[in-house]
Amino acid sequence: MQGLSVVIVGGGAGLGALIARMAVENGAAALGIIDINAEAAQEALAPAREAGIPAAFAACDIRTADAAHAALNKVADELGGIDTLVNSAAIYPRKPILEITDADWDASNAINVKGSYHMMVAAIRRMQGQDPKGHVRGRIVNITSVDAFKAHPQNAHYAATKAAVVSLTRSMAQEVAPDGILVNSVAPAGMATQKARELGFLGELAKASPLGRGGEPQEMAEWVLMAGGPKNTYMTGENIIVSGGYIYA
């Protein structure tokens, strides 16, 4: 991320917060966090402040265009621009398929799909007005999931939203390619997180992977940094599956 201004949506916790820290460690010139939890967003900016680079945050419910665009513009204004947007905000509801309600569908779609769309549109409008660095005016990376490609019980509405984001990534990539904006997504498999350890999922993750283990969050984040970083000058419209061989697509 050397020299880039990076904004992470959903960067207050989990994978998003890890990506934020790694972006700073990999030379980001500025860091912005957009999260519904203002306190978490502030904490996630600590590595940027310690590194002495510009840091900005906005507390935002991304389900409406007005709120999402206002948050993105606030952060981009404070940072002096945006080179890379990472869409990491999502909810992960679990419910048997015959019990999913309209409210469940609406919540999943509003955050996982529509919220990502709003943030992409806001970022693209900013990036279109920027001078290119080489061939590229900006990069967008959406966090999807292997669930978009492989069914799991009690997971239908989440999986459907992640499949939608894969499709949305491709559509966006095609439309903004002439502007020099690259749009890709990264689809992690199950990760060996602290929550997975607490819930006893590590054994299941190990069995599911030919490598015999679940992926470490840092291993997933590395691919986000690659797709959103300065070395990516030509790849767009791709969904990078990081599953340890769990699926091939």
Beta strands in 11-152, from DSSP E residues, in sequence order? 30-35, 55-59, 84-87, 138-143
Domains of the chain: 5-242 (3.40.50.720)
pLDDT of residue 191: 82
- Which positions ≥6 away from 64 have C-beta within 8 Å? 118
Per the model's pLDDT, the better-predicted residue between 171 and 94 turns out to be 171
- 158 an active-site residue? yes
Checking if the pLDDT of 223 tops 70, the result is: yes
Residue 194: CB atoms within 10 Å: 9
pLDDT tens, residue by residue, 7-28: 999 999 999 999 999 999 999 9
Q: How far is the C-alpha of 90 from the C-alpha of 10, rounded, in Å?
A: 7
pLDDT of residue 199: 66
pLDDT of residue 248: 85
Checking if the pLDDT of 249 tops 90, the result is: no
pLDDT of residue 5: 98
Q: Would you call 182 helix, strand, or coil by DSSP?
A: strand
pLDDT of residue 121: 98
pLDDT tens, residue by residue, 28-84: 999 999 999 999 999 999 999 999 999 999 999 999 999 999 999 999 999 999 999
Catalytic residue among 92, 158, 246, 248: 158
pLDDT of residue 215: 86
Predicted TM-score (pTM) of the model is: 0.95
pLDDT tens, residue by residue, 149-208: 998 889 899 999 999 999 999 999 999 999 999 999 999 988 877 767 776 777 887 888
pLDDT of residue 89: 96
